[in-house]
Amino acid sequence: MEDKLDQIHETALKILNDIGINLFHPEVLDIVQQKGVRVSGRRAFFQPEQVMHWVRKAPNQFTLHARNPKYNAVFGDDNVQCSPGYGCAQIITADGNRRDALLGDYIAFAKLTHQSEYFNLNGGILAQPCDVPADKSHLVMLYAAILHSDKCLIGMPAAGEKIQEIMDMMALLCGGKERLIQKPRILIPISILSPLQIDEMGLQSILMAARHGQAMNISPAPAAGTTGPISLAGNLALANAETLAGIVIAQMIAEGTPVLFGLQASIADLKTGKILIGSPAFALQGHYGARLARKYGLPSRGSGNITDANWVSVQSSYESMMSMLVAFQNKVNLIVHSAGILDTFAGMSYEKYMVDLEIIRRVKSFLHGIEISEDELSFDVIQEVGPGGEFLTSLDTLEKVRTHAWNSELSLNEPKFDRQLNDQFLEIVHRQLQHILDSYQKPGLDANVQNQLERYLVQAGIDPKTIEAIKNKQRKDNNDLWQS
């Protein structure tokens, strides 16, 4: 494995040195040039020693700080954090139909994520609400995440004044720009355009996040056969080069900026042109991406419960389980898209969200392993029962039944059924969904901070009715979301 990683690494350095990467931001071009990088037009050429010098400036571990410190998320070493689905503008219903996502969906997913024990991160683009103007949605989504959760926050990439507005709101939340800069409080996703380009929005996001001391997740996603070479080794080398370039630029702007190494290489179906994320090739490249991050001593980002299936099905389950198990086994530090994703990132599903929580629970249980001790080996119990006996009524079984038995929250285990199995399964899923949302309690937010945030939103052009809708979304409305 190490020899293969070395070859991918060396090829990535050769790509950056001999081919270079296009940077669509004049200020960033000036910064890298001042640091000794050769620039020709929009293309920057990074020498191998330059790359490794600046990559070493990035911390090998960092903490993302939540409003509620119990949700602080540590990235690096063997720490594994999960976050839910991200970036979809549609909701896929249980029968496979689609509709545009609404602000109510965003709030519902924010509440589900807040309630789940598996997530210390919330926010970002949980679902892109179509009933909010696109040019203001970053503000609305961030405020909704702040109001409905006190976990760590995920942001969104944005250009120009939009990324500044995100930083302004975060400064209001934590008590000013000086306090914001002191430690990472929001994670900004950075997308790189394969092959070998970083656009103005990505570079502006890197600039603003680095200058405000905030963390970023740098993730290229070349698809083997379309935006990357068809060979997986070549695709990995390309993605590795792109990730390293983004990390180097972040460190040149502000040394010590916390970054996640987020290689997300995929593969294309050349019969249709569609990207495949549920394939073994995606999981395999994720495996190598995690190993490369460890090689560089950097925290890693990967993907979890992802699928190409169009609805919740056998396919969505086996594809999701494969990717999630690979991510956990490789101790990926941030597993994005851990709940809700369907159809190659095309839509979020409430039912898939619940199934994915079950997958996370199963994977964590499996990887926890078996405890081996004198008590657990149960020699005395076996001796007491003896040949031909039974353990069901033994005192040991009665004492440990609540701690040692596996009980699925969703599975159908009854011996007989009086109606369609899928209907019964969905009934369980929807009952569990409603239970989680009914038990939701909005975390506290300082009234003065909330007022400042709301005044900022109004000044930024957000309709006060939208702010009220975020504040007053009722539980009784939730059931309509997944039955519509």
pLDDT of 426 reads 86
- Expressed as residue numbers, the domain containing 25 is 2-55
Q: Could you tell me if 51 and 94 lie in one domain?
A: no
Same domain, 237 and 148: yes
Together in a domain, 29 and 87? no
Instruction: With respect to residue 192, please indicate whether it lies within any of the assigned structural domains.
Output: yes
What is the rounded average pLDDT of the residues 410-438? 77
- 32 and 81, same domain (yes or no): no
pLDDT of residue 423: 80
DSSP sequence for 216-271? EEEEE-PEETTTB-SSHHHHHHHHHHHHHHHHHHHHHHSTT--EEE----EEE-TT
Q: What are the strands, taking DSSP E only, across 24-140?
A: 38-40, 43-45, 62-64, 73-75, 81-82, 90-92, 98-100, 121-123
Residues 343 and 275 occupy one common structural domain:
yes
13 and 162 inside one domain: no
Determine the Cα angle at 39 with ends 202 and 20, to 5°.
65
Based on the domain organization, do 42 and 172 belong to the same domain?
A: no
- 480 occurs within a structural domain: no
Taking CA atoms, 73 is separated from 27, 115, 353, in Å, by: 32, 16, 21
Which band of pLDDT confidence, cut at 50, 70 and 90, is reported for residue 338?
very high
**Domain boundary residue, one of 55, 76, 96:** 55
In a domain, 239, yes or no: yes
Using the predicted structure, report yes or no on whether residue 474 has a pLDDT greater than 60.
no
pLDDT at 395 over 70: yes
Query: Does the global pTM surpass 0.85?
Result: yes
Domain count, the chain: 3
Are both 13 and 136 inside the same structural domain? no
Residue 298: give its domain's CATH number: 3.20.20.480
Residue-wise pLDDT for 131-185, tens only, equals: 999 999 999 999 999 999 999 999 998 888 999 999 999 999 999 999 999 999 9
Residue 33 sits in the same domain as residue 105: no
Task: Label residue 190 by pLDDT band (50, 70, 90).
Answer: very high
Residue 428 covered by a domain: no
Instruction: Name the nearest CA neighbour of 260 among 87, 72, 66, 62.
Output: 62
